[in-house]
Homo-oligomer: A and B are copies of this chain.
Amino acid sequence: MKRSIGAKTILYPTPVIAVSTYDENRKANVMIVAWGGICCSEPPCIAISLRKATYTYHNLLNNKAFIANIAGEEMVDKLDYMGITSGQNVDKLERLGLTPERCHNVNAPYIKEFPLIIQCNVIRVVEIGLHTQFIGEIIDIKVEEKFLDKEGNPDITKIKPVVFDPARREYFSIGDSLGKAFSIGRKLKIGN
């Protein structure tokens, strides 16, 4: 039996994206975005949604560029700090001992200590409601070398990204492998 719980922002899983941008004085800022995801394969794009009240919103409008930095689970308290503090009041990166590095592809800084960084240029701005969606075309991805597998792909089991649960407002780690995509369902095909 199913019970209605009303119209709420619940979806599993959601990411924890540390979005870094430059402000008008070219100072690096970072905030956490859980409202987002991949939204196109060609060109490869990710979408992030922010409220207009955020410092990053104005940086995105000015520079049309951002980095989506993905952290490992050992940084979860730093991620949470980035989500509960505004760049209008404090230099979050400095406070956390993190290093903004200049990116040569897009006009946004990346966080040196983070294992995977996704460099994006904003190609579309979609007004939805309380949140504005920025669609970023992925220009390049950089990965810390020790987190690459033998084929040169990022290894999720080494990076250990954080999962956000918007229902319980809680962070989780990635668990065990459940199988290969485009593969484990083949046995269910008729006459496979």
> Which of A's residues lie within 8 Å of B, judged by CB?
1-15, 17, 34-47, 49, 51, 68, 70, 73, 76-85, 90, 95-96, 116-118, 124, 126, 128-131, 133, 135, 137-145, 148-149, 152-156, 159, 161-190
| Most chain B beta carbons < 10 A, residue from A7, A14, A153, A181 | A181
Quickly give the copy total for this chain.
Answer: 2
Assuming the A-B contacts A37-B35, A49-B39, are A84 and B182 also in contact, with contact meaning beta carbons closer than 8 angstroms in the complex?
yes
Which single member of B80, B130, B173, B180 contacts A175 (CB below 8 Å)? B173
Q: Which residues of chain B have C-beta atoms less than 8 A from A73's C-beta?
A: 178
Inter-chain CA distance A96–B135, complex, in Å, is 35
CB-defined A-B contacts under 8 Å, sample of 13: A4-B140, A4-B142, A5-B143, A11-B38, A39-B49, A41-B51, A47-B47, A77-B185, A84-B186, A90-B190, A156-B172, A172-B176, A174-B174
Report how far A118 CA is from B12 CA in the complex, Å. Answer: 11
